[in-house]
Structure 1
Amino acid sequence: MMKPILSYCIPVQNRLAEVEATLWQNLDANRQFGQAVEFVIADFGGDPALDRHIRMNFAPELASGYLRIVTVKRLHPWHFGRAKNVFRDHIAAELYSSLDADNFVSAAETQQILDLHAEHAGRLLIHHFSGNWGDGTCGRITLPADLYRSVGYDERSLPRQYDEMDLILSALRTEPGLAYVSYFPGGALRKSKATASFLRNEGVGIDCRVVADLRTAKPLNPKQKRYIEDGGLLEAMQRFNRSSSFARNARNSDGRERYFAQAMTGAHAAVRALDPVAALQCFFEALARPLSRLDDGLVPVFACVKDDTFVLEEWYRHYRRIGCGPFFIVDDDSATPVSETLPYPDVHALTPRVGHYRTCKAAWLMAAMKAVLPQGRWALTIDADEFVDVPSRLGRSMADAAAAAEGAGSPWAPGLLVDMLPAPSDQPGEPARGSFLDEFDRHLFDGSGDESAYRRNNSIRWAFGRHWRASYCIDARYRLAGTIDVLRKVPLVRYSHDIRLHHGFHDVAFCDAAKTGRERWHSPLLLPIRHYKLVKLFDARERERMAAHASLCFIHDFKTTANLRELVAGDRAGDWDKLHLLHTVPYDPDRFSDPEFFRDALGVAAAVPGLVRRTMHALLGGAQKSLR
């Protein structure tokens, strides 16, 4: 049997009426091409009515192979990229051509495709777009089947918008010599202002060949011309998918960071536009079991985890001890699934289906929070190597800390990362040798040295302002490797549907309130956070894993990636020696109850005049007494 040249691929889910209106006409119009052309229908969910209609009305076409129908798993919710990728394993033709159920295709169009295929030796991409957005033609595209399989539609995009444009852009970036064919000069790559701007900024010129539009019938279900500009979900999806595509196809790192930021904004907007059930279904795969009910006496925990297996059991026990639960953990493709590491009834592992850590960490958590939290419910947002403690002046549990913040009229409580260190006399060992909680039980408390570069750093000025010494005296990573990672955090928040989480939890915003501001970290509400990242850095296997993460642009932002690369470079023997030169103290959460805890650090007393220090302390006394 002759191998077909062209496969028209039709994804169908709940679209029987459209198939009934278009399929016979399409088959009849293209019979003359014999075995050179086939039509393939993917029936999502195995619709009995569709199957019966096809088999009753098109038996000869099925018998000859001119028409084929394959049953695939139902998509819930519907996702254009995932739907169109299912044909990868079901076609053998040289060309893949997308054809929605409401589209018609004429014999003249098919002949044009076959002629162009022969002329360009199969290396071409045809976009069958009329030039009118929303008329149902932008989704039609023809390209080599091998390129369709290797590039394909982006399955980590939001369910709709920009899917075909991303495939075109990605295919042309993958194979620059590919002929781009359109029905009007420049095609959709020029008509889309954002795409045209991206190509100009990247210095990419597209040689577009223009051919006649030989369509004889328009699609059945056109939309309004500016249907996407609704200021809601469709516009958010467009922004996220388009920016993600630009970030993936950009060659310039500065431009890539800009597109990542735009994608994050789009993802956040999509979460806000979706209802709670739809947010959960859109951003995550189907749940293994129903979500737990919330306990009024506990503070629920939301976290994103990737391969933090060695720390998770202790992490879970710690938060259970201080009155937290249930746990909603986004498992970002951990080698050992979180559901296996923490097989407890109050732990829910959520598998993301949209985006990547770099673009969607905060959006994932916002979607999970929206699905389970009522307005005004307090929750923790933390990473797996962070252990938040409650100083005794605030109470004994996380609920006590939330009550203190509520009483102070604040919708969040500030946190401070404290990098945990081993005693200087110890030698580096594998975390598996014993509990890292016992081995790493100290922290830097040293305000001496040349701090000028540190306090002038823009990130430090943004985070702490004139209170930078609170960060400097405990910033072990700066002393060991010279890297600056902001130590301020927002671990405890009062949920609202308009919440906007920061990617690194360094800030939080609400639509009806100003951002946090650096003065709020000089507060009696401060929650110390034991940070065990250095456990990983002194472990060879963990450093190797972190180095692999640092090489992927979709994992961290540019600054964090650079810091990670610096931290994991080489062995850490020299850094271990540096520990002997640093002044460390045993960790005590109550040390941080006083907003001016840093005044007792080595070298700070001489740097801060006593009168000024006492005045600042007196000014804060009233705020501290209000929490007693």
Structure 2
Amino acid sequence: MSSNNLKVSFCIPIKNRLGDIKSTLKKNLLDNVKDSDIVEFIVICFDDDGNETSKWVQENFPEELKSGYLRYYYHDDLPVWHFGKAKNAFKKYIKGKIYASLDGDNFVGKGAGKHIVEIFERYDYNCVLHQFQGNWGDGTCGRISINAEDYIRWGYDEDFLPRQWDEMDAMLSVLVNKENVKYIHYTGEGKNIIKKSHPFRRYLDEHAIEIEQIALPESENNFFMENAAVGEHDNSYVEDDARLRLSSIYNHLLSYLKNSTDKVNRSVYLSEILQCQKDFTEQIDPSVNLSLFLSCDDVRVRNFNPEPNSIMLVSCIKDENDIHGWLEHYRRLGVNFFLLVDDNSEKPLDELLSKYNDVFVFSPKVGQFKFAKTMWLECLLNRFCLDSWTYIVDSDEYAEPCFKDIDLRSPNSTLNLTKRNKGKYYSGFMLDLYPNNLTDIENVESTPITKYTHYQFRPKADFEHYHTHNTTKWSYGAYSDWAYQIDIRYRTNKTFDSMRKFPLVKWESKMHLNQGFHDLIINGDKRTYNALESTELMPIRHYKYRSIASQISGDSAKNIAQYHDDTKRNIESAIKNFNTIIKECVLNPFSFEFISPLLVPTPYNSYVSLVKDEINVPTYSGHTLLYNEGAVESIRGNIVIAPTFNDAICFILNNSPFRNLVSAIDSTAVFSTVSDVPDNDNITFGFPIFQIGLAGTGSELIHEYLTSRNVKSILWSPEDTNIEQRKSTAKRIHTDIMGKIHSDYDNPIESISAYDAICDIGCVIHNFEKILAKYPESKVIFTSSDFELLKGVNRSDYDDFYKRVSEWCEKFGPDKWVLVNPINDGFGDDFDRFINV
């Protein structure tokens, strides 16, 4: 048989179903043998042991195999049946111009191959033929034929659950992605799937897609036998089985999400997928869910039942460079067992971690990271972690518990928790870390994780855009001031990310995660920002920038396409601006080494006390540290070690955001993140200070520094990151430096004379002499970084700006102006000399 003449390939996948093809294969071959010059049958056997099936086929069809009318293959790469994977296996074997799906228990009917070819030739091979007879359980709904090129291009979705909606998705994907393709169906009640299937029709309606539907005459429906399949199901067999019903919903929503580019619809589909995942966990046995969504080759899993009061950890991991150190960190926190989902790491985790007896590695069967991550983990949580304290963290997150004297293994450990969480969870927040000095970031892509040691805690700022953003309001609510102080992502990249987390949970069956673990749903109720109201609020050392560096260097195969759109844009922006972001972090004046979770301020821990003994602990909120005499200044747990008590006080003042000594007596010292000096807000310099230049990082740093020096400062900064757009905005709003700032700004400044310092009030067109004419005692700060920015935007603007600044500064002298670079180490000294503080 010449493959050039083949028109249609009937493709039959089977697994451990020899009885089915014994009933159907011979009949199907005989019914189409007259057309064997244009028809072929392909059988792929996925049996656990294919010897019996292979032997039966070879003994019963030697002539058909020899001629090529029947081709038979054995595959051993499908340990568990999966419809999509089985159906896609024919892509490398198909020779016909038409792919025809055929289950092992289906009869095709006499002359079926020729019938299919005639229809496709009639419509120039630009059609989808559905041979559905109108009853869900009769075996014909899966009888589809499509152009072989379309089958190879779109085919079946291997991210689906093993059964349900596979053929429907194959048809829908072709119909909505290929131009002018026709849907062919038979005449009769219920035989048009577009009309019969609500999910099919829903997608077309929601995307306003019109498909040309052609009903074949009844005379072309006569090749079917009375029974289309060996075993037929009841018409309601899917609805009667919760697993099949939910699988159908889940798979058709995955089909929607895959095919749609409409943001509104995609958001709805994603929400429905997440709800369907919750329904799975609540309605289906945990062992069944585990087998549906995850696989594990480790034979220990079959008999794995953790001891009561074991401490567990679950995580989804892809190409983590520092996995061994991460495991060791959590072992020190008492974790007994690690349940890890390997999201297709370049080097499989089960190979990398094979020496560890406390690690179990699972692989996803279904879904993609961006929406299935929580489902994968909830399968593990519900199967292995019920009533156990469990860390739920990513592989770049190192939780740092602040509690003491609490044994999580104790049945009564919940009695030691705060009343607010009712013994169910600990709240936490991510603290992004970065390298400490410039030498560490010269080759930042190869900088080891041990060099990522510092975080930011900067002065509060009244940035309305930050405090009123939806992410900020949802995550932090009344504590947005505190969130701003640690949020370097907004500071360096103008992105909004929730840093709130729930890293430690005593898992219950009615709990659910959200995709980023930024929320914990208990009995249908979501957490609020009130979850931050805890003295045990847990810092999480977060190595996000280390992960981004790995992506840049190519050490990680992690693909940002796996994230949702907003997160994807944020990561793309961070990658693009990475070197600038890291440099700004390193040189920021409000940078602190992470030496203890007890020295990281939180909403309920803005004070910290140091005592020689715990008899006379002061009545301030916050953590209490104990002093121990020792030769080297350090902190271990809640013990501060130093040669003298005064040395211990200096150690805290110099190495933490608690830089204000509220009180100190012989045996007790109290520290705060803010000064307790009365009327602090009224401290002024007696003259206005103006920072003039383009809106951006430099002005924000200066504003923060002014605030830290008790200068009553306000920052006006357009949010647009495009330099030209910022210039345009500045020109529009600042019609005259002496006038009022335009009232359409969210936080209008009625008069610049009401403040000691205003940042970003100028742009390149301003006449700076007007400032001194109006305020003869004022001083002006220029940021040198603006010159370089302008040079890259417009050379004429740069030359004009430089010339006018130079002339102005020469005329008024250095006591009236200073040119500073706020990201240089010497910025603070230069600035202090200028304002004579």
TM-score bucket (shorter structure) = 0.7 to 0.9
Deviation at 1:464, TM superposition (A): 2.4
CA gap of 1:574–1:445, structure 2 versus 1, over 3 A, is closer
Matched residue, 2:311: 299
Which is further off, 231-240 or 353-362?
231-240
2:466 matched to 1:454? yes
1:221 partner SS: coil
1:307-346 alignment, distance < 5 Å: 307-309=319-321, 311-345=322-356, 346=358
Matched residue, 2:234: 224
2:255 matched to 1:242? no
Q: Deviations over 1:232-283 (max 9, x none)?
A: 2222211221111111111223322322232233234334444344333322
Deviation at 1:362, TM superposition (A): 0.5
The CA distance in 2 between the partners of 1:93 and 1:594, in whole Å, is 67
2:559 partner SS: helix
Aligned-pair identity in percent equals 28
Bigger RCO (CA 8 Å, 6+ sep): 1
Structure with higher Rg: it is 2
1:312–1:341 Cα contact (<8 Å) kept: no
Matched residue, 2:2: 2
1:210 partner SS: strand
Choose the corresponding residue for 1:198, options 197, 200, 203: 203
- 1:509 aligned partner, one-letter code: I
Matched residue, 1:357: 369
1:469-488 alignment, distance < 5 Å: 469-488=481-500
The CA distance in 1 between the partners of 2:197 and 2:508, in whole Å, is 36
The CA distance in 1 between the partners of 2:338 and 2:568, in whole Å, is 28
1:107 partner SS: coil
Matched residue, 1:388: 399
2:402–2:597 Cα contact (<8 Å) kept: yes
2:72 matched to 1:69? yes
The CA distance in 2 between the partners of 1:540 and 1:589, in whole Å, is 26
2:594 matched to 1:577? no
2:592 partner SS: strand
1:23 partner SS: helix
Matched residue, 2:716: none
Matched residue, 1:614: none
Deviation at 1:569, TM superposition (A): 2.1
2:46–2:76 Cα contact (<8 Å) kept: yes
- 1:381 aligned partner, one-letter code: I
- 2:576 aligned partner, one-letter code: A
1:499–1:509 Cα contact (<8 Å) kept: yes
The CA distance in 2 between the partners of 1:249 and 1:202, in whole Å, is 10
Matched residue, 1:522: 533
**TM-score normalized by structure 1?**
0.87
- 1:255 aligned partner, one-letter code: N
Matched residue, 2:130: 127
1:135–1:223 Cα contact (<8 Å) kept: yes
Choose the corresponding residue for 1:17, options 16, 19, 34: 19
CA gap of 1:503–1:469, structure 2 versus 1, over 3 A, is same
CA gap of 1:58–1:424, structure 2 versus 1, over 3 A, is closer
1:61–1:67 Cα contact (<8 Å) kept: yes
Deviation at 1:563, TM superposition (A): 1.7
The CA distance in 1 between the partners of 2:59 and 2:173, in whole Å, is 40
CA gap of 1:443–1:601, structure 2 versus 1, over 3 A, is same
1:5–1:93 Cα contact (<8 Å) kept: yes
Deviation at 1:577, TM superposition (A): 3.1
1:547–1:568 Cα contact (<8 Å) kept: no
CA gap of 1:540–1:23, structure 2 versus 1, over 3 A, is closer
The CA distance in 2 between the partners of 1:112 and 1:361, in whole Å, is 45
CA gap of 1:9–1:217, structure 2 versus 1, over 3 A, is farther
The CA distance in 2 between the partners of 1:501 and 1:73, in whole Å, is 36
Which is further off, 102-111 or 147-156?
102-111
2:83–2:163 Cα contact (<8 Å) kept: yes
**Unaligned ranges ≥5, structure 2:** 608-656, 660-671, 680-837
Which is further off, 17-26 or 89-98?
17-26
Deviation at 1:499, TM superposition (A): 2.8
Matched residue, 1:169: 172
The CA distance in 2 between the partners of 1:433 and 1:405, in whole Å, is 45
Matched residue, 1:568: 575
1:137-286 alignment, distance < 5 Å: 137-184=140-187, 187-212=192-217, 213-214=221-222, 215-218=224-227, 219-230=229-240, 232-286=242-296
CA gap of 1:582–1:136, structure 2 versus 1, over 3 A, is farther
Q: Deviations over 1:333-374 (max 9, x none)?
A: 22233334444322223221211001200011111233333x
2:413 matched to 1:410? no
Choose the corresponding residue for 2:82, options 60, 79, 82: 79
Which is further off, 253-262 or 474-483?
253-262
2:31–2:111 Cα contact (<8 Å) kept: no
The CA distance in 2 between the partners of 1:609 and 1:128, in whole Å, is 84
1:324 partner SS: coil
Deviation at 1:155, TM superposition (A): 1.1
**TM-score normalized by structure 2?**
0.66
Which is further off, 590-599 or 559-568?
590-599
Report how many aligned residue pairs link the two structures.
Answer: 601
The CA distance in 2 between the partners of 1:608 and 1:57, in whole Å, is 97
1:243–1:259 Cα contact (<8 Å) kept: yes
The CA distance in 2 between the partners of 1:574 and 1:443, in whole Å, is 13
2:101 matched to 1:91? no
The CA distance in 1 between the partners of 2:178 and 2:434, in whole Å, is 50
**Unaligned ranges ≥5, structure 1:** 611-628
Q: What is the Cα-based RMSD across aligned positions, in Å?
A: 3.2
1:32-111 alignment, distance < 5 Å: 32-45=34-47, 46-73=49-76, 75-111=78-114
1:448 partner SS: coil
Deviation at 1:398, TM superposition (A): 6.1
